[in-house]
Amino acid sequence: MDLPVMPPVDPMLARSVPKIPAGELYEPKWDGFRAIVFRDGGEVEIGSRNTRPMERYFPDVVEHALAYLPERCVVDGEIVVPSAATGGLDWDALQQRIHPAASRVRLLSHETPALLILFDVLALGDDDLTSRPFSERRALLEQAIAPNPGVYVTAQTDDDAVAAEWFQSFEGAGLDGVVAKRPDLTYQPGKRVMSKIKHERTADCVLAGYRPHKSGDDAVGSLLLGLYTDDGVLASVGVAAAFSMARRRELVTELAPLVTSLEDHPWGAHATGRTPRESEQSRWSAGKDLSFIPLRPELVVEVGYDHLEGDRFRHVAQFRRWRPDRDPASCTYAQLDEPVSYALADVLAAGA
């Protein structure tokens, strides 16, 4: 491989801002695996967010790159998997693609095929484009990618009102918010020079346990959160984990009066709902200790979250505050405000 921009390349990043900034270029924020794709003739490499190679996990994306990308190029984008059930994105199916067995990867590439969504180009032919303004790179990207079923150029607008509409409606397809970029922005690997505006909601959850910190210190690693179903069953909905080490040690002492036995806990041996062990078992947790310290479900915590994936928070929730005024029985799924479903096909069509 001999390209003007060679792997590995750290992707250019975005910093979180509270609202959509004026006077920039706006794109939907895709919720997939970041990917910088290098193609030189018959050779394709896919670098992850951490510059690790991903082509072995996505042979279908390699095929798309060979079929639909320019002969020699470096492009920046996101790998996503459409959901056959919802018409949006399927994060769980995307995670399943990271599998050590080549036979399993090949099977999944046919059962849950991935798409490559592009939003930048770093090189075309012999030209290094990283020092050119983003508006120019975007125009070259649009010219380089003809309509096809495997590689898409993401939608873009310079109208902040349209971006606000995308922020609301595209979430229903599983997207993560909006990204804003200055038209004159050069490509700056590893630097947070773009802006991202992400969805965030709040929920009151039952604190039902915690996991000890991985360091082995007498400290809390993560708080285990639960919500009651319509049947009155406490289901595991996710974790909150953003604390300083000093605060993690304090929490052990503060929560000690609530510690109980697993036999007397809703997530014990006779649990009828989803427990933390069941909800977090995956290849990502293989070999990890998923045991936890059970707490009497008497304390309510307010957390921030972006959206649900099935019946669980998509990402780690952010601790906000304790809610001693709330009755744990009121912490139900019914309180959650989730987006109306939206078709991924419409999001892709917006970029056509």
pLDDT tens across 49-100, in order?
Answer: 999 999 999 999 999 999 999 999 999 999 999 998 888 999 889 989 999 9
The CATH number of residue 317's host domain is: 2.40.50.140
pLDDT at residue 80, as a whole number: 97
Q: Is residue 5 part of a domain?
A: no
Closest CA to 181 of 137, 122, 242: 137
Give me the mean pLDDT over the 158-182 stretch: 94
Tell me, what DSSP letter sits at residue 126? Answer: T
pLDDT tens across 332-342, in order?
Answer: 999 887 777 78
- Using the predicted structure, report yes or no on whether residue 288 has a pLDDT greater than 60: no
Is the domain of 36 the same as that of 154? yes
pLDDT at residue 306, as a whole number: 81
Helical packing angle, 102-111 and 59-68, nearest 10°: 60
Is the domain of 38 the same as that of 161? yes
State the residue range of the domain holding 147.
Answer: 13-198
Is the domain of 54 the same as that of 137? yes
**Active site members:** 29
Least confident of 116-120, 140-144, 274-278: 274-278
- Using the predicted structure, report yes or no on whether residue 280 has a pLDDT greater than 80: no
Q: Is residue 347 part of a domain?
A: no
Is the domain of 191 the same as that of 94? yes
Output the six-digit token pair for 227: 């919500």
Concatenated DSSP letters for 211-243? EEPTT-SSSEEEEEEEEE-TTS-EEEEEEE---
- How would you class 170 by CB atoms within 10 Å of its CB: exposed for 0-12, middle for 13-18, buried for 19 or more? buried
pLDDT at residue 269, as a whole number: 75
List the end-to-end C-alpha distance of the chain, in Å, as a whole number. Answer: 31
Q: Is residue 2 part of a domain?
A: no
Give me the mean pLDDT over the 200-227 stretch: 92
Distance of CA 13 to the CA centre of its chain: 14
Q: How many residues are there in the chain?
A: 352
The Cα 233–Cα 213 span in angstroms is: 28
Q: Is residue 346 part of a domain?
A: no
Among the residues of 42-85, which ranges form H helices?
A: 59-68
- Using the predicted structure, report yes or no on whether residue 283 has a pLDDT greater than 70: no
CA trace torsion 156, 162, 168, 174 (10° rounding): -20
pLDDT at residue 270, as a whole number: 75
pLDDT tens across 5-16, in order?
Answer: 999 999 999 999
Give me the mean pLDDT over the 189-207 stretch: 94
The Cα 347–Cα 352 span in angstroms is: 9
Give me the mean pLDDT over the 301-329 stretch: 90
* Number of folded domains that form the chain: 2
The mean pLDDT of the chain is: 91
Closest CA to 157 of 171, 149, 167: 167
Least confident of 116-130, 159-173, 304-318: 304-318
Closest CA to 78 of 126, 118, 129, 137: 118
pLDDT at residue 70, as a whole number: 98
Is the domain of 159 the same as that of 240? no
Distance of CA 343 to the CA centre of its chain: 18
Is the domain of 181 the same as that of 205? no
Q: What's phi and psi for 167, nearest 5 deg?
A: -55, -40
Quick one: pLDDT band at residue 281, thresholds 50, 70, 90?
very low
pLDDT at residue 277, as a whole number: 63
Is the domain of 190 the same as that of 212? no
Question: Of all residues in the chain, what percent carry a pLDDT higher than 90?
Answer: 77
- Cα R_g (the chain), whole angstroms: 22
pLDDT at residue 242, as a whole number: 85
Is the domain of 80 the same as that of 184? yes
pLDDT tens across 233-279, in order?
Answer: 999 999 998 899 999 999 999 999 999 998 889 998 777 777 886 44
Is the domain of 145 the same as that of 238? no
How many other CB atoms are found less than 10 A from the CB of residue 315?
A: 16
Q: Is residue 311 part of a domain?
A: yes
- Using the predicted structure, report yes or no on whether residue 216 has a pLDDT greater than 80: no
Q: Is residue 137 part of a domain?
A: yes
